[in-house]
Amino acid sequence: MTADSSQLSQVFIELGAAVLGLSLVARIASRLGFSAIPLYLLAGLAFGNGGLAPLPFSEHFIHTGGEIGVLLLLFMMGIEHSGAELRHHLRVGYVGGLADFILNFPPGFLAGLWMGWSPLAAVFLGGVTYDSSSGVVAKLMNELGWKKNPETPVVISILVFEDLAMAAYLPLLAVLIVGGGPGKIATSVSIALLTAFLVLVLALRFGEQLSRIIGHPSDEVLLLTSFGAVLLVAGIAQRFQVSAAIGAFLLGIALSGPIAERAGQLLSPLRDLFAATFFFFFGLQIDPKALPGVFFAAAVLGVVTGATKLLTGHLATKRVSSSKGAGLRAGIALLARGEFSMVIAGLGVAVEPRLGPFAAAYVLLLVILGPLLARAVK
């Protein structure tokens, strides 16, 4: 067997073992009626370097699988927002969205500074504590029958506001990581933010026209076109230092109408697959031995930002319902952190290595606590 053949065989074996293992994890989560995200993370921690049963995954396999996973995950998150929906949620949800940012970004930022991290690393941690998990929230509200509750439109508007904030936040962080002189940073930031702004304008003004260009009656053609476009746009975005992940997210936003619904149906199984691998691969890169040293601080921050999310829900729902239960349910629904928090942490480990295990402990805590509290108040 040649060296290339042996390497290819190793990749197939690794990928097959990982996917079969994740299928077992998903079965357990489904049986428990619980989000699989914390179990994917725990599986990665268990089978990565330093875990209970480390598997010989190649570094190239882990990196490539995780990158493709986050691209499809964020593309699918973006495709859920049509131009009309974006305008609606920005118009009705800006108060709750601003309150959410003001209450939940500063605790992470201040905690980073308190732990002696650099200001840039603290900015990363602020993003981790700010953004709720759209995937966990949507699944939770659907399972508990909260979709017709008065607070549901407010929660969705806050999630949309957070997603759009990430469209500007992630490119900015990607540029700051690269660094350089003030002039270079200013130019790179301007290009990144301008690119993100133009894509959002295209999504709001010409989303349906773009969808018609990409659309095709054949599911096969549409699937290939969508998947190819994700990879192409992500690569171009990376060249402009906008971040490949946010490029995929913006492409998803740019598509709207019936084409978005069809693409979503075709790609949703891939989204689930790569979402699982993304969280699993993130866990693989974390040494479990680093968790005990950060767990107490992560738990304290989790309690603080859990309280600020509850306050966010209360303030955001005051205009739509006088019921205290509506505000409580909204706040609890927003507790879980997930997709973007992990993306931010993945970028931030280049600045602060402790951010990886800290974010893993923090997300694990809240992604478990949120659904448990939600079921307790339903």
Are 255 and 214 within 8 A, CB to CB?
Answer: yes
What is d(CA 305, CA 229) in angstroms, rounded to the nearest whole number?
A: 37
Query: By percentage, how much of the chain surpasses pLDDT 90?
Result: 15
The answer on pLDDT for 1 being more than 60 is no
Integer angstrom CA distances of residue 328 from 202, 225, 373, 377: 36, 43, 10, 8
- The closest of 237, 232, 233, 270 to 76, measured between CA atoms, is 270
What six digits make up the tokens of 277?
A: 């691998």
What is d(CA 337, CA 282) in angstroms, rounded to the nearest whole number?
A: 15
Average pLDDT over residues 233-240: 75
What six digits make up the tokens of 192?
A: 């990144």
Average pLDDT over residues 69-81: 72
Q: What is the per-residue pLDDT for 109?
A: 96
The answer on pLDDT for 85 being more than 70 is no
Residues contacting residue 111 through CB under 8 Å, at least 6 positions apart? 122, 125, 129, 297, 301, 304
Q: What is the per-residue pLDDT for 141?
A: 79
pLDDT digits (tens, 9 = 90+) for 10-21: 767 767 777 788
- The closest of 83, 303, 317 to 201, measured between CA atoms, is 83
The answer on pLDDT for 102 being more than 90 is yes
Residues contacting residue 340 through CB under 8 Å, at least 6 positions apart? 127, 131, 133, 162, 163, 166, 170
Q: What is the per-residue pLDDT for 304?
A: 96
Mean pLDDT computed over every residue of the chain: 78
* pTM, two decimal places: 0.80
Residue 31: Cβ within 10 Å count: 8
Are 166 and 342 within 8 A, CB to CB?
Answer: no
* Domains of the chain in sequence order: 3-377 (1.20.1530.20)
Average pLDDT over residues 159-175: 79
The answer on pLDDT for 210 being more than 80 is no
Q: What is the per-residue pLDDT for 103?
A: 94
- List the Cα angle 176/178/181 in 5-degree steps: 80
Average pLDDT over residues 262-267: 70
Half-sphere exposure of residue 323: CA atoms within 13 angstroms, side-chain side: 10
The answer on pLDDT for 290 being more than 90 is no
DSSP 117-177: --HHHHHHHHHHHH---HHHHHHHHHHTT-TTSTTHHHHHHHHHHHHHHHHHHHHHHHHHH
Average pLDDT over residues 166-174: 77
Model confidence band, residue 124 (pLDDT cutoffs 50, 70, 90): very high
